[in-house]
Amino acid sequence: MSAPVRIYHNPRCSKSRAACALLAEAGVEHEIIEYLKHPPSRDELARLVTMLGIRPGELVRRGEAVFKEKYAQLADDDDARWLDAMIADPILIERPIVVIGEHAVVARPPERLSALLHDA
């Protein structure tokens, strides 16, 4: 595969670990970005959302305690505030996100990654 492959990964997440395993099984070299240790910049996060073809609020993990404590009242269409929220609290970012070249997928379930690998 000639396009660079990155995975925004949380090693504590079973779905994220499964996506890493799928990449390894496919023999795909990839860069692992532990986004809780090294959060994306606001511009990078906005680019990921665009590549995913979704709005920022759709990338938010709504089951997280911090969501319920700080962000449950935000409107779904307040894109700028959702980007700010995910930058302030990266645990809110859905995972894993796999990027191949200019294409991305939230590999949840991990089988969604297979389609991206096939199309790339």
pLDDT of residue 2: 72
CA dist 74 and 11 (Å) reads 28
Considering only CA atoms, give the Rg of the chain: 14
**pLDDT per residue as tens, the chain (120 positions):** 578 899 999 999 999 999 999 999 999 999 999 999 999 999 999 999 999 999 999 999 999 999 999 999 999 889 999 999 999 999 999 999 999 999 999 998 878 898 888 776
Task: Quote the pLDDT of residue 120.
Answer: 64
- Listed by start position, the domains of the chain span 5-119
Q: For 5-119, CATH number?
A: 3.40.30.10
Catalogue the active-site residues: 13
- Please tell me the predicted confidence (pLDDT) of residue 83: 98
pLDDT of residue 110: 79
pLDDT of residue 93: 97
Which amino acid belongs to residue 4?
P
Q: Measured between alpha carbons, how far is 71 from 20 in angstroms, rounded to an integer? A: 30
d(CA 112, CA 119): 11
Instruction: Give the pairing of strands 5-9 and 31-34.
Output: parallel
pLDDT at 70: 96
The predicted structure's pLDDT at residue 1: 58
By the 8 A CB rule, do 11 and 17 touch? yes
